[in-house]
Structure 1
Amino acid sequence: MRWVIFIAVYILVDIYSFQAIRALTKSSWVPWLYFLISAAVLAGLFYELSFMGTGKMMQPPKLYFFGIFLAVFIPKLILIIFMFGEDIGRFFVGLFMKVAGSRDTAFMGSRRKFVSTIALGIAAIPFASLIYGMVQGKYNYKVLRYVLEFDDLPDAFDGYTLTQLSDIHCGSFDNKHKVEYAVNLANEQKSDVILFTGDLVNNIADEIEKWKPTFSKLKARDGVFSVLGNHDYGDYMKWNSQTEKKENLDRLKDIQREMGWDLLLNENRYIKRKDQKIALVGVENWGDHGFIKAGDLDKASEGIAQSDFKILMSHDPSHWQEKVKNDPRNFHLTLSGHTHGMQFGVEIPGVVKWSPIQYRYKNWAGVYEEFGRYINVNRGFGYLGYPGRVGIWPEITVIQLKKRQHTV
């Protein structure tokens, strides 16, 4: 039934948006080409989602069909906005002419070519952007650097650097060379520690198997630490049993350890310099908006003193907003991911920072500060759903910790 409704809406959108094209050309082959492309996109999407498995296992073929669907469908919605606006204008003009007693013109006048031309020109922007995002944007890695100052940072850690990665989603990758380039880029930052904040896979542990040699290359002086994200638990798959699901999660945990990563499961570690130390705290996923709440901040903080400088790894930034920022134990810096910046938006430093995801998450990309406590939300290393990125590029974060200097 859902497919019937979806196809009906799709056809109505197709027919209505075609009016913009019909106003510009009377060629007989254009309608055939237009509807042939639309039918092919719909058939491909239907085939991938219905006959290639109904689970939410997002692999490259499904991702690309979905991406092409978005690239074709979203511009049509823009065309509809223009066509509907023009139809409203045509209706009221026609109504006025009828009331005025005019009999020389039709009630609804013909469409204007310049309106259709403008509509098609604007619709071409998201079409080209979404195609670019699939071809180039998804591997357009950016290194973003921040310097954060703290009053109580131990002197031995003044200048300490960390590299944060998040949301690898290795099941989506289709270009080994690009991924290896990004791993090398992360290593080239020569940070003291590398921290991964969850969502290594889309759904199942097997996704990471062929990428183990690549991500095993991540190295830092104080090691590579990780936590789990919501996708790592296998909650979006249909399992034959809870035992099978548990075995999948256990395997994913083992793989991270085999890669040389220290997976923190509601645990903490101390990083030491000389006779000083900072605490690294890692919680399992805790998410608002219906996501799994396996994170236990109390358990993860056992043995840590109130006065210790703390870095918290928590996949979902809603955890910081709901629980962490007001916690009396004072978690100085929280590192999160999860949002991907929705893989779509506009960012011009100092001018504009916008993505639709901001209407769901208050903290969705970059560094935020409240009560003297910081959170960095990494925009993600990989991609999921739409197989690309537009304006919100894959990110490698480098954060330098500095002791705040007070002037007299």
Structure 2
Amino acid sequence: MSRWVIRLIILSVIILIAEIYAFQALKTVTKSRVIRWVWLGVSALVYINLIYVIFSTPRSMGQTLQFQYAVGFMLTILIPKAVLILMMFGEDVVRIIQKLISFFMPGETMPLASRRTFVAKLALGLAAIPFAGFIYGIIQGRYNYKVLKYHLEFDDLPEAFDGFTITQITDIHSGSFTNKEKIQYGVDLINEQKSDLMLFTGDIVNNVASEMDDWIDVFKVLKAPYGKFSVLGNHDYGDYVDWEHRVDKIKNFEAVKGIHPKIGFDLLLNEHRYIEKDGQKLALIGVENWGKGFNQAGDLEVATQGVSQNDFKILMSHDPSHWEYKVKKDDFNYQLTLSGHTHGLQMGIEIPGFFKWSPSQYVYKQWAGLYKEFGRYINVNRGFGYHAFPGRVGIWPEITVIELKKATKNV
């Protein structure tokens, strides 16, 4: 029996136990057979659909829209139930403690009769919050584009670039798109920023180059007077498809690279370009994907051949783990790095300026937003598109606008 099958069996057992536990909570609240059968029926349909999609989809197709929605529906019913289970489990722990106290101290009793019903109702009410959030995330949240603006000061920024603006987008994942009107709205919003320079930091598709065919006309209208530049992300290499022939993977990779000039972007493959303004310049460096534990094709040494250590440098590198492990302490001094990749897991809680949380932070130290260490910055864009889960809950699609400023010296 393969490890994959064993893991699937273990996961199925865990989910079954969770479903039984959650159903017991429902029975505490209502005696309506209709509600109970609807609960069971919806859950069964979601799991049957997921199993069907998993076993009926050839691996050669990679991740399909059908798989995304099957996962989306599962998360929509499972995460609210997790909230329900946690509360009911806590109540069960209290009940056990109270029974032990009653056993050893017969004179001491605590009321139990109505509390479980109250806790079950409260738990169901709280579970409805993430359920509504996931429904919104699938219907509208994935198109809830946010423009985030940063003003970054640098001592060594060439004076000609004081006030220079950069729009960063990342993780288009065109294979997930279904609504051209909504995507067009996002593209128009990018153009409305009227930035000097536009940078795309990888993952233009999910699996194969053809996913972008219907979207080239939408994205080729993007404009920036000082140019549009891009790099590759992990999904652009075709590694998530079970290719029958290696030559097909190579052809697809070449086709993915060919998308970038079609939409007007200069793809940097471990290369650099100089952006010039009023006789001064800054170095724009683009590396191939480099991620911790996989696909480390990015090569800073190759990309910076001909670049001076004294040059002001902007690095495009898809995966923020590259910055954490290789870039931030590099003596060559990369003043600003732009990344994507994490999507902020497309779900979490953010109160701008006060609180930010997502399970993504347990995998990536820099997972969303702006970070600074050793006097150097990295911005991790939350992504324009979506992948795996066909929605966004609390972590919205992002368009980043960065204004470079020359630091003023205090006299």
TM-score band by shorter chain is over 0.9
SS at match of 1:198: coil
Cα deviation for residue 330 of structure 1 reads 1.1
Measure, in 2, the Cα distance between the counterparts of 1:28 and 1:137: 34
Deviation at 1:14, TM superposition (A): 1.3
For the pair 1:354 / 2:375, whether they are aligned, the reply is: no
| Contact kept in structure 2, 1:58 and 1:172, CA below 8 Å | no
**Alpha-carbon offset, residue 109 of structure 1:** 6.7
Contact 1:60 1:174 in 2 (8 A): no
1:6 maps to what in 2?
11
CA RMSD of aligned residues (A): 2.0
Alignment of 1:267-306 (within 5 A): 267-288=271-292, 290-306=293-309
TM-score, normalised to structure 2's length? 0.94
The correspondence for 2:165, drawn from 161, 165, 171, is 161
Q: Does 1:15 align with 2:9?
A: no
**2: CA distance, partners of 1:339 / 1:231:** 12
- Conserved in 2, the CA contact under 8 Å of 1:234 and 1:245? yes
SS in 1 for 2:29: coil
Unmatched 5+ residue regions in structure 2?
Answer: none
User: 1:257 maps to which residue?
Assistant: 261
| 3-state SS of paired residue (1:384) | coil
2:38 — aligned with what?
33
Which residue number corresponds to residue 344 of structure 2? 341
Give the equivalent residue in structure 2 for 1:48. 53
TM-score (norm 1): 0.95
Q: Tell me, what secondary structure is at the counterpart of 1:23?
A: helix
Spell out, residue by residue over 1:199-224, the C-alpha distance to the aligned partner (whole angstroms, 9 max, x if none). 11111111111111111111111111
Tell me if the contact between 1:268 and 1:301 (Cα under 8 Å) persists in the aligned partners: yes
8 Å CA contact retained: 2:290, 2:317: yes
* Counterpart-to-counterpart distance in 2, 1:128 and 1:54: 32
Aligned residue for 1:199? 203
Contact 1:310 1:333 in 2 (8 A): yes
Q: How many residues align?
A: 405
Tell me what 2:65 maps to: 60
The whole-number CA distance in structure 2 between the counterparts of 1:394 and 1:170 is: 14
Report what 1:217 is aligned to: 221
Q: Is the 8 A contact 1:167 1:199 kept in 2?
A: yes
Question: Corresponding residue for 2:83?
Answer: 78
| Cα contact 1:194–1:224 (8 A) shared by 2 | yes
Cα deviation for residue 225 of structure 1 reads 0.4
The residue type equivalent to 2:231 in the other structure is V
Distance in 1, Cα, partners of 2:41 & 2:60: 28
The one-letter code sitting in structure 2 at the alignment partner of 1:180 is Q
Structure 2 distance, partners of 1:94, 1:276, is 78
- Secondary structure of 1:203's match? coil
2:318–2:338 CA contact under 8 A, matched in 1: yes
The residue matched to 1:211 in structure 2 has which SS?
helix
Deviations 1:300-319 (A, max 9, x none): 00101121111100001111
Alignment pair present for 1:246 and 2:250:
yes
The structural deviation recorded for 1:94 is: 3.0
Residue number among 360, 376, 382 corresponding to 2:379 in the alignment: 376
Inter-partner Cα distance in structure 2 for 1:77 and 1:139: 26
Query: Secondary structure, in 3 states, of the residue corresponding to 1:400?
Result: strand
**Which letter does structure 2 place at the counterpart of 1:188?**
E
User: After the TM superposition, which of the residue ranges 145-154 and 27-36 deviates more from structure 2?
Assistant: 27-36
- In 1, Cα distance between equivalents of 2:162 and 2:70: 49
Unaligned runs of 5+ in 1: none
SS at match of 1:70: helix
> Quick one: distance in 2 between partners of 1:370 and 1:95?
53
